[in-house]
Amino acid sequence: MRGLRKYAMNVRSGRPLIAVATGLIALVAVSAAAAATVWPSASQEIARAGISSSTAFCGHKSITLAVEDGYGINAWSQASYAAVKSTAAECKDVKVVTFAGGGVESTAIQQINSAVALGANAMTVIPDFGAAENPATAAAEKAGVKVVDWAVNPSGVKGQDYYDYIDFNNTYAATRWAQWMVKALHGKGNVIFLGGPAGNPYAEDQVAQIDKVFAAHPAMHLLTGATSYAVTNWDPATAQTVTASLLSQFPVINGVITNYGTDALAADQAFLKAGRKLVPIVGLDANGLSCLAKKYNEPLYTVSSRNWLGRIAARVAIAAAEGVPNGEPTNPSLYKLPAWEDTLAGLTYKCNASLPADFYSSDKLTAAQLLKYGTN
């Protein structure tokens, strides 16, 4: 009825009928395109790591996509860049500019501002500094830039601080990690949690959930604290050094939980260097972790490193700027990722000895894609 009423008003106001008819035809065309779009389920998206054969999200306008990573310093960042930029490359009218914050909050914020000044129409952001970045992304949104945050909770308001937020369900993941560790240790043991840089909201949410699960099992102890974690900066050398220090501090460590697969590998290497037996370990998938755990028959639980979510973030941002349907599930935009490896449940090690240690097979990225698109 709203559309018919508007149509009648246009006729009465004397607007040319041909213009009105053209507008209606365009509206019908957009509606038909949306209706023809086949929205995958969340489980389908997960199964194919966000890969889609459709390029309908590309539209036909020439736009610029800014790709910003608050860190941009390691193999995980490389895979994230590759997922976003290889997807944008499917669109002949999309230009890409890339930024890396280097782990410096002020730099990441300035880069968001710079992207707007450079004329970006769409932006994907890994907001490693959480709410601190919201004023910059909100200003970008106000300037007409479609900002899609992903991989780290921005803690802001959708539609105001950003256009959308794409990620795995962090609460769900951390709960599953803790539950698996309880099972692996039969409800009794000392556990350490390696959480990346200090103050990152991603790890802070996780430690809260781990502690919540452990609270129901009084014999489970989180040695690194109920509200804190071992700081690794998502750097494997630092992670190995930190784990070595924890091994010296605590004579009994029965399990390790991490939020980065390469950190988990570094932790295992610290155990071996100290002459300690490997213990049940949780992390995101990493080829080197799988291979080492397989060699020593170490109990292992991983979920996808989820860099592939960058494909979805790119499509949502580009489609929003183009004004076309994005073809993604509208609910949820937070994905409950299943186990990638779970040796207690028969999901065995996904080791490929021919690939690098920091290769994340769950992302379904090729070596050529990583080489071509995985840089800033």
pLDDT attached to residue 42: 86
pLDDT beyond 70 at 119 = yes
Q: Scanning the structure block, which residue is given the tokens 């209706």?
A: 35
Q: DSSP string of 168-188? A: E-HHHHHHHHHHHHHHHTTT-
Tell me, yes or no, whether 164 lies in a domain. no
Average pLDDT, the chain: 90
Q: Per residue in 40-75, pLDDT tens? A: 788 899 999 999 999 999 999 999 999 999 999 899
* Tokens coding 281: 């370990």
63: closest CA among 37, 34, 93? 93
Which residues are paired to 148 by β-bridges? 124, 164
Q: What ranges make up the beta strands (E) of the chain? A: 63-69, 94-100, 122-126, 146-150, 164-168, 189-194, 220-222, 255-258, 281-284, 300-303, 334-335, 341-342
Q: How far is CA 57 from CA 22, 48, 54, 223, in A?
A: 23, 18, 8, 47
Q: Per residue in 340-366, pLDDT tens? A: 999 999 999 999 999 999 999 999 999
pLDDT attached to residue 207: 98
Tell me, yes or no, whether 259 lies in a domain. yes
pLDDT beyond 70 at 38 = no
Pairing status of strand 341-342 against strand 122-126: unpaired
Q: What is the greatest pairwise CA distance in the chain? A: 86
Tell me, yes or no, whether 361 lies in a domain. no
Tell me, yes or no, whether 206 lies in a domain. yes
Sheet containing strand 122-126, edge to edge, reads: 94-100, 63-69, 122-126, 146-150, 164-168, 334-335
222: closest CA among 238, 236, 235, 203? 203
pLDDT attached to residue 9: 32
Region 245-251 average pLDDT: 98
Range of the domain at 21: 2-36
Domain boundary among 249, 273, 303: 303
- Whole-number Å distance between alpha carbons of 334 and 103: 24
Structural element, H or E, at residue 119: none
Domain boundary among 239, 271, 303: 303
pLDDT attached to residue 154: 94
Tell me, yes or no, whether 123 lies in a domain. no
Q: Per residue in 288-332, pLDDT tens? A: 999 999 999 999 999 999 999 999 999 999 999 999 999 887 666
- Whole-number Å distance between alpha carbons of 355 and 357: 7
CB atoms within 10 A of CB 361: 18
- Whole-number Å distance between alpha carbons of 43 and 48: 9
Structural element, H or E, at residue 354: none
The answer to whether 155 and 305 have CB atoms below 8 angstroms apart is no
Banded model confidence at residue 333, pLDDT cuts 50, 70, 90: confident
The string over 35-61, giving b where at least 16 C-beta atoms fall within 10 Å of a residue's C-beta and e elsewhere, is eeeeebebeebbeebbebeeebbbbee
The answer to whether 64 and 122 have CB atoms below 8 angstroms apart is yes
- Whole-number Å distance between alpha carbons of 272 and 290: 15
pLDDT attached to residue 40: 77
- Whole-number Å distance between alpha carbons of 5 and 1: 6
DSSP letter at 361 equals: G
- Whole-number Å distance between alpha carbons of 239 and 260: 10
CATH number of domain containing 285: 3.40.50.2300
pLDDT beyond 90 at 24 = no
- Whole-number Å distance between alpha carbons of 365 and 108: 26
pLDDT beyond 90 at 8 = no
Banded model confidence at residue 30, pLDDT cuts 50, 70, 90: very low
* Tokens coding 290: 């799988």
Domain boundary among 303, 326, 361: 303
What contacts 104, CB < 8 A, 6 or more positions away?
Answer: none
Banded model confidence at residue 78, pLDDT cuts 50, 70, 90: very high
360: closest CA among 309, 318, 313, 312? 309
The answer to whether 364 and 51 have CB atoms below 8 angstroms apart is yes
Tell me, yes or no, whether 240 lies in a domain. yes
Cis ω for the linkage preceding 338 (within 30 of 0): no
Banded model confidence at residue 250, pLDDT cuts 50, 70, 90: very high
Banded model confidence at residue 336, pLDDT cuts 50, 70, 90: very high
Banded model confidence at residue 39, pLDDT cuts 50, 70, 90: low
Q: Per residue in 86-108, pLDDT tens? A: 999 999 999 999 999 999 999 99
Tell me, yes or no, whether 354 lies in a domain. no
pLDDT attached to residue 332: 65
pLDDT attached to residue 331: 60
Tell me, yes or no, whether 153 lies in a domain. no
Pairing status of strand 189-194 against strand 164-168: unpaired
Q: Per residue in 253-275, pLDDT tens? A: 999 999 999 999 999 999 999 99
* Tokens coding 7: 């149509």
